[in-house]
Amino acid sequence: MTIWLCTDARAKAVLRRVASKRLDKKPNSGYIIKPNGRLTISQWRNNALESGCMAAAEGKKTIPVRENLWTTPSLPNELPQLIGSKCPSCGEVVFPKNRTCTNCLHPLMEEVKLSRRGKIYNLSTVMLPPPKFKGQIPYAIGFVELPEGLRMLASFSGDPEILEVGMDVVLVLETVYSDENGNEIIGFRYKPIADNIEAVGKSGTPGLNL
């Protein structure tokens, strides 16, 4: 049975929507939660990840590829967002967040949450892995254009063959690879919106990424 360690106590409110009503308390703020039968294990796990909880089954952990790249939701209707910076002087928006504006050299940029949705600006399929690469091959990378005007380099989830320039995509958190200890390394990717359910669907569950 998986133990989920919640980084925010309020995050368990999300899990109540996708798991049994009873949360069995464990040491170190852990909770053993059983799926309620309405969702597959994969769907339930994705909701747990997006609620800001980490799996700690059998001593294994879920670790972000880098700290402070995205927000940790604290309310049931919230979803993770990438954290960027906006210049109060020239309006430049960057990701990841930066202290100084590289456009006008303003010394103090403001932290902003970036839109979850964007469009594929360009893309390329990688067939040969770079040195020390631990993910799956082939995979697609490219630039995503966000409503803020930012074009950011990102990888894409799913079959590269179905991706097209101009396609609407949405942010998802996924396992990038597993380390030598079996811990899951989580990163952000973009996925075609047609493959996602961001609102309450047939399951009645908010924020479900399939």
**Per-residue pLDDT tens digits for 93-123:** 999 999 999 999 999 999 999 999 999 999 9
Backbone angles phi, psi at 59, to 5 degrees: 80, 0
The amino acid that residue 121 corresponds to is Y
C-alpha Rg value of the chain to the nearest Å? 18
Q: Any idea which residue has 């972000």 for tokens?
A: 64
Q: What is the pTM of this model?
A: 0.65
Task: Examine the pLDDT at 41 and tell me if it is beyond 80.
Answer: no
- Per-residue pLDDT of 3-24, as tens digits, reads 444 444 444 555 554 444 444 4
Q: Cα–Cα distance between 85 and 107 in angstroms, integer?
A: 12
Q: List residues bridging with 124 in a β-sheet.
A: 141
Judge whether 115 and 148 are in contact, CB under 8 Å. yes
The amino acid that residue 173 corresponds to is L
- Per-residue pLDDT of 143-155, as tens digits, reads 999 999 999 999 9
